[in-house]
Amino acid sequence: MKARGAKVLPIAFPGTDSSKAASMVSAAIRAHPDLTGVYVTHSAAAQGASAAIKQVGKQGKIKLIAFDADPQQIVDLKRGVYDALVVQEPYQMGYLSVKLAGQLARGQVKASQVKESQLLPFFVVTRKNVSDPKVKQYFYKASC
């Protein structure tokens, strides 16, 4: 559901190139000065999108929502660069992937039996709940 009068502008996927994402978002802002929101699907694209929004001085004016929760995204959420982050359970994602790879390697599971996708629980993190321990446990770690 989109807000009344809101435009949806599809932008090509920048891959994992944050510079390309910054260029794409900057171009979209220049082409559409009334742009009010940006959503990106992963942390590399989010770094570029946030840089573009900050560069043109539209932090707080252009709503930014991103997927992932790397350390810089959490800092930027607290600073008001992001309005929300969609965070999944990175431990479960990695655990289930490695478990499945092992099962496939041992012949315990056939490739034809593997589901194309598996939905993991997710949370929407905002400045209001960013310090909640139930949410913080899903933030990506800078180091292990």
Mean pLDDT of all residues belonging to the chain: 86
Tens digits of residue pLDDT in 13-65: 777 788 998 999 999 999 998 888 999 988 889 999 999 999 999 988 999 99
Residue 133 lies in a domain: no
Do the domain assignments include residue 52?
yes
Q: What share of the chain is helix, strand, coil (3-state, %, to 5)?
A: 40, 15, 45
User: 61 lies in which domain range?
Assistant: 18-127
Would residue 1 count as lying in a domain? no
Whole-number Cα distances in Å, 129 to 29, 43, 107, 144: 29, 20, 43, 24
Query: Which distant-in-sequence residues (6+ apart) come within 8 Å of 128 by Cβ?
Result: none
Distances (CA, A) of 91 to 15, 136, 137, 138: 23, 13, 10, 8
Count of structural domains, the chain: 1
* CATH number of the domain that residue 43 is part of: 3.40.50.2300
Instruction: State pTM to two decimals.
Output: 0.77
Report if residue 97 sits inside a domain.
yes
In a domain, 143, yes or no: no
